[in-house]
Amino acid sequence: MKQNEILLNSVETELNMIDLIGDEHISTSVETPLREDAFALSDKEKMAKIELHFREIMETLGLDLNDDSLRGTPKRVAKMYVQEIFSGLNPANKPSVALFENKYQYNEMLVEKDITFFSNCEHHFVPIMGKAHVAYISNGYVIGLSKINRIVQYFAKRPQVQERLTVQIAEELKRVLKTDDVAVVIDAAHLCVSSRGIQDVNSATVTSHFSGKFRDENTRREFFNYLSLEK
């Protein structure tokens, strides 16, 4: 009996810690945590396994998968996970970015604002919905505007923590643009806050990353002025 009590206490402690990590929005790494064998299976093999396991989840919940509306759900979820909302986990889907020489000598700040993205909280696998605002100052090179959006989308399409997403976007832009003069601000709503737990539907989370010239107060102020322009 005593061993059972110890085991139950251990399980309860672990569950409390799991809840704490999720509710306190803890991030453990700048890199998305992936196993070494993360890509040992093909996308087709992954979808087959996810379909099987999600079917078991639905059946465990008591759902009747013989119903016409539910019959295809495990397959749809598997396809959605691998090919859509978590496609950013696979480096093969990373956007190819071509650098162009800044021949028109535009040396001012370039701002791409209101980039809409959808991600998923890695603690509860429910949506994060928001907008990213990105800026850089050319160091002799520029990239196509759509590539900025694609970089945001790539890192958003994986289980995420907003702080990590902000840093990943910034570091990738610095890498491809060969400059430290980069700013990223993300304003997002988390369904793990609004649809469960505290159930606060009005709050939003704002994160930022400033490097290079954007560490200067005047440069940051200019960036924020652009974000507040009337549409």
Same domain, 142 and 85: no
Q: 27-38 b/e with 16+ CB inside 10 Å = b?
A: beeeebeeeeee
Q: Which domain holds residue 164?
A: 97-227
* Domain termination site, one of 92, 115, 131: 92
123 is an active site residue = yes
Catalytic annotation, pick one of 51, 123, 160, 168:
123
CB 118, CB 129: distance < 8 Å = yes
59 is an active site residue = no
Dihedral (Cα; 16, 20, 23, 29), 10-degree rounding: -130
* Domain termination site, one of 25, 57, 92: 92
Please state, as a whole number, how many other Cβ atoms lie within 10 Å of the Cβ of residue 93: 14
Specify the pLDDT at position 163: 96
Same domain, 76 and 184: no
Same domain, 38 and 146: no
Same domain, 82 and 113: no
**What would the pLDDT profile of 60-115 be if each residue is shown by its tens digit?**
999 999 999 999 999 999 999 999 999 999 999 999 999 999 888 898 999 999 99
Question: Which residue type is seen at 52?
Answer: L
CATH of the domain at 69: 1.10.286.10
Paired sense of beta strands 109-121 and 127-137, if any = antiparallel
**What would the pLDDT profile of 186-221 be if each residue is shown by its tens digit?**
999 988 876 777 777 778 899 999 999 999 999 999
Q: What are phi and psi of 13, to 5 degrees?
A: -65, -40
83 is an active site residue = no
Number of domains into which the chain is organized: 2
Same domain, 27 and 118: no
CB 116, CB 59: distance < 8 Å = no
Closest by CA to 142, choosing from 105, 174, 173, 101, is: 101
Catalytic annotation, pick one of 25, 83, 124, 222:
124
Paired sense of beta strands 100-101 and 182-190, if any = unpaired
Same domain, 61 and 147: no
What's the CA gap between 9 and 140, in Å, rounded? 60
Paired sense of beta strands 205-210 and 182-190, if any = antiparallel
25 is an active site residue = no
Catalytic annotation, pick one of 153, 172, 192, 209:
192
Same domain, 125 and 185: yes
Half-sphere exposure of 8 (CA within 13 A, CB side): 5
CATH of the domain at 160: 3.30.1130.10
53 is an active site residue = no
Q: How far is CA 41 from each of CA 46, 50, 75, 190, rounded to the nearest angstrom?
A: 6, 12, 17, 31
Say whether 19 sits in a helix, a strand or coil: helix
What's the CA gap between 118 and 88, in Å, rounded? 12
Q: Where are the beta strands (DSSP E) in 43-108?
A: 100-101
pLDDT > 70: percent of the chain:
86
Catalytic annotation, pick one of 51, 153, 172, 190:
190
Catalytic annotation, pick one of 51, 133, 160, 162:
162
168 is an active site residue = no
Which pTM value belongs to this model?
A: 0.87
The partner residues of 184 in beta bridges, in order of sequence, read 134, 209
Catalytic annotation, pick one of 51, 122, 153, 160:
122
121 is an active site residue = yes
Same domain, 164 and 221: yes
Mean pLDDT of 43-51: 98
